[in-house]
Amino acid sequence: MAILEIKNLHVSVETEAGSKEILRGVDLTIRSGETHAIMGPNGSGKSTLAYSIAGHPKYEVTEGEILLDGENVLEMSPDERARAGLFLAMQYPVEIPGISVSNFLRTAKTAIDGEAPALRPWIKEVKEAMTNLRMDAAFSERNVNEGFSGGEKKRHEILQLELLKPAFAVLDETDSGLDVDALKIVSEGVNRAQEANNLGVLLITHYTRILKYIKPDFVHVFVAGKVAEEGGPELADRLEAEGYDRYLS
Amino acid sequence: MEQHTHGAGVPLQIRSERLRSANPKDFPAVTIRDEQWRYLPVERLEGLDSEVQKFAGSLVGFPVQDSGNIVPGSISLPEDLVAANVFALNDTKFIKLVSADAPELLEIKASGTKQGLQFFISNEKFGKNTLVLNHTGSGSLAELIEIEVADESDLTLISIQNLEDDSVITSSQFARLGRNSKFKHIVVSIGGKTIRVVPAVSFAGTGAEVEMLGAYFANGDQHIEHRPFVDHNMANCTSNVAYKGALQGAKAHTVWVGDVLIRQAAEGTKTYELNRNLLLTDGARADSVPNLEIETGQIEGAGHASASGRFDDEQLFYLQARGIPEIEAKRLVVKGFLNDVISQIGLPDLQEELNGIIEAKLEGKQK
Ligand SMILES: Nc1ncnc2c1ncn2[C@@H]1O[C@H](COP(=O)(O)OP(=O)(O)OP(=O)(O)O)[C@@H](O)[C@H]1O
Ligand SMILES: [Mg+2]
């Protein structure tokens, strides 16, 4: 059983006009096996929270803590965080020219595990995971995210989630840009990862339709850089019906 | 980290007015005061500028002929003293390309000092070919190549500089493109103390397309220099020049001077040139100079870009977010960056060998 705690997190970015505070005191606790949905208007800071957990250098934490089983995550580099068990499925995955998916996956797996995976079982595992996500085998020889469609990029993120087996995953709008079939396929991938590794999930989304497949235990409404309200799955339905007006004054 | 990035400036010498001659005596001595040689300390030539002897190394693979029905110097006479020394040997090897399904390979294995080697490559009308020139071995070698790309033909020429680390190679490569022909020129420079490649393209007809790609990696005290030149002297031709380099170590030095000249007659020209360098360590020096001279307003498009130094933060973050430490992420980005060019060679074994050498260099094992 692992626990990820975010306490009074304040985060700023450098802008041309100086430092700008985006997260204004976020409190959130996620335990293994739990699914937390975060919903909130555009620009409210959801991706900022995701990147701050993963350690993107652009975001400066000015106050507060992130603890993973009591360990101070903020002192870790992004790769140390990943090796400690954190995973971020990005809203906009980056293209890496000249590096094949298979090479990338093997390199990442080796880095996370601290040793190279045994070749035969690894190849089999990758193949199986790709089949499950309905990814053509040809993807493994293509360069990382290069020329992938929006939906293919998202499948590739979930492929990594299943293969790297983190303790906690932040999924930043993994459902955006997916057609109805892909949404189901990708959701099943997340659920498989959760079952297999008792994964804790922080699911950032704008739409309740993904919550039909990935059932949240908790829903957090994110407004102006902090959690404005928390509740169970019923809160998502209310947000869909009413929007965020009541939180914006 | 030292970075040298210049905008497009007026070239010190208009490229079209550069002296061309068969006679070494017509050229002044090599000095860094001459724009052509300004980045290369003359002692790095190890005497190639004084005189050269006939090539005593070996040529293995695709057959070369000692005579042909083409006249050496007809594509271009030498543009510098070292190339003129080669021309003065009066010993040209001919390579005739008809049409082949698979890439052809010629290994040029240098041995001995102050060697000169001249080729004339002819790609016949309608011929579609890929020829790989793999330069290996050790010593000092000056090379001069003329390439005739006939009308309606398609040639990919790959020049790999992968010599022992005490070696010097200079290579002048002049191509002339016929009407509606396609020419892809790929340079990969990784092995050798001093490497200088000067590929130049001009046109004999309209509607031709040239792509010039380069990948290089300098470490230790390597000096790697490329000076691609496209002379748009005909209408409606397209050129795309893209060179990518990586540097590691305080004494590594790379030079890229990309000249594109669009003459009055070259209406409807489309051209783009780019050079990007990634610096893995402090102190390495990458000079990057794009020059664009335009003599007509009637062109479709002309642009250039040059950047040295920084890695893409988002690429590094993506790799790190998957557990890969920063230094390893940088190496991976460099490998991918160069492999983007190397993967176009079309010979898997050779590609693997080159990628293996780059990997070893990245890990600090000198080639
Ligand atoms: N470098 C920056 N300069 C200025 N503002 C920035 C910068 N980076 C982020 N911001 C701002 O921070 C705010 C939060 O952005 P963030 O991407 O976290 O929002 P989000 O909740 O993920 O939105 P969306 O739902 O559209 O994905 C936005 O207003 C954004 O413009
Ligand atoms: Mg976002």
DSSP for residue A207: -
In contact, A6 and A27? CB cutoff 8 Å:
yes
Residues of A in contact with B322 (CB under 8 A): 79, 82, 104, 108, 111-112, 160, 164
Question: Six-digit token pair at B65?
Answer: 């002929």
- Ligand 1 center to residue A34 CA distance, Å? 27
The SS3 call for residue A80 is helix
Q: How far apart are CA B292 and CA B304, in angstroms?
A: 8
For chain B, percent of residues with pLDDT exceeding 70: 95
Phi, psi of A187 (to 5 degrees): -60, -40
CATH assignment of A3-95+166-248? 3.40.50.300
Q: What pTM does this model have?
A: 0.88
Is residue B165 assigned to a domain? yes
**Distinct helix (H) and strand (E) counts, chain A:** 7, 12
Is the predicted pLDDT of residue B1 greater than 50, yes or no?
A: no
Is residue B218 assigned to a domain? yes
Mean pLDDT along residues A142-147: 96
Which among A212, A217, A221 is positioned nearest to A242, based on CA atoms? A221
Q: How far apart are CA A105 and CA A115, in angstroms?
A: 13
User: How is A122-165 classified by DSSP, letter by letter?
Assistant: HHHHHHHHHHHTT--GGGGGSEETTT--HHHHHHHHHHHHHHH-
Q: Which whole-number Å values give the CA distances from A205 to A42, A157, A187, A228, B284, in the listed order?
A: 11, 16, 13, 16, 45
Q: A246 CB less than 6 Å from ligand 1?
A: no
Residue B366 has a pLDDT of 56
Q: Give A209 to chain B, closest Cα distance, Å.
A: 28
In contact, A58 and B316? CB cutoff 8 Å:
no
Residue B14 has a pLDDT of 66
Q: A13 CB less than 6 Å from ligand 1?
A: yes
Mean pLDDT along residues B177-201: 98
What are the residue ranges of helices labelled H in A143-233?
Answer: 150-164, 180-197
For chain A, percent of residues with pLDDT exceeding 90: 94
- Band (pLDDT 50/70/90 cuts) for residue B346 is confident
The two beta strands, B53-54 and B4-5, are: unpaired
Q: Give the number of domains in chain B.
A: 1
Residue A188 has a pLDDT of 97
Residue nearest to atom 4 of ligand 1 (CA): A15
Range of the structural domain that residue B278 is part of: 15-311
Q: A44 CB less than 6 Å from ligand 1?
A: yes
Asked whether the ipTM of the predicted complex exceeds the cut of 0.95, the reply is yes
- Band (pLDDT 50/70/90 cuts) for residue B308 is confident
Tell if the CB–CB gap between B332 and A108 is shorter than 8 Å.
no
Q: A46 CB less than 6 Å from ligand 1?
A: yes
Is the predicted pLDDT of residue A146 greater than 80, yes or no?
A: yes
Is the predicted pLDDT of residue A137 greater than 90, yes or no?
A: yes
Residue in chain A nearest B355 by alpha carbon: A98
In sequence order, the 6+-apart residues with CB closer than 8 A to the CB of B300 are B268, B269, B270
Q: Give B11 to chain A, closest Cα distance, Å.
A: 33
For chain B, percent of residues with pLDDT exceeding 90: 84
Is the predicted pLDDT of residue B30 greater than 70, yes or no?
A: yes
- Band (pLDDT 50/70/90 cuts) for residue B24 is very high
Summarised one tens digit per residue, pLDDT across range A165-195 is 999 999 999 999 899 999 999 999 999 999 9
Residue A106 has a pLDDT of 97
Residue B13 has a pLDDT of 54
Is the predicted pLDDT of residue B3 greater than 60, yes or no?
A: no
Summarised one tens digit per residue, pLDDT across range A205-243 is 999 999 999 999 999 999 999 999 999 999 999 998 888
Residue B8 has a pLDDT of 44
Is residue B10 assigned to a domain? no
Summarised one tens digit per residue, pLDDT across range B57-82 is 999 999 999 888 889 999 999 999 99
Q: Give B187 to chain A, closest Cα distance, Å.
A: 17
- Band (pLDDT 50/70/90 cuts) for residue B305 is confident
Is the predicted pLDDT of residue A19 greater than 60, yes or no?
A: yes
Mean pLDDT along residues A32-36: 98
Mean pLDDT along residues B222-245: 97
**Distinct helix (H) and strand (E) counts, chain B:** 4, 20
Is residue B359 assigned to a domain? no
Residue B306 has a pLDDT of 86
Residue nearest to atom 8 of ligand 1 (CA): A13
Is the predicted pLDDT of residue B6 greater than 90, yes or no?
A: no
Is the predicted pLDDT of residue B367 greater than 60, yes or no?
A: no
Q: A43 CB less than 6 Å from ligand 1?
A: yes
**CA gyration radius, chain B:** 20
Residue nearest to atom 7 of ligand 1 (CA): A13
What's the order of all strands across the beta sheet hosting A71-72? A18-31, A3-15, A59-68, A71-72
Task: Return mean pLDDT, chain B.
Answer: 92
Summarised one tens digit per residue, pLDDT across range B10-20 is 444 567 678 99
In contact, B261 and B293? CB cutoff 8 Å:
yes
Tell if the CB–CB gap between B326 and A79 is shorter than 8 Å.
yes
Is the predicted pLDDT of residue B222 greater than 70, yes or no?
A: yes
In contact, A187 and A209? CB cutoff 8 Å:
no
- Tell me the β-bridge partners of B92: B118
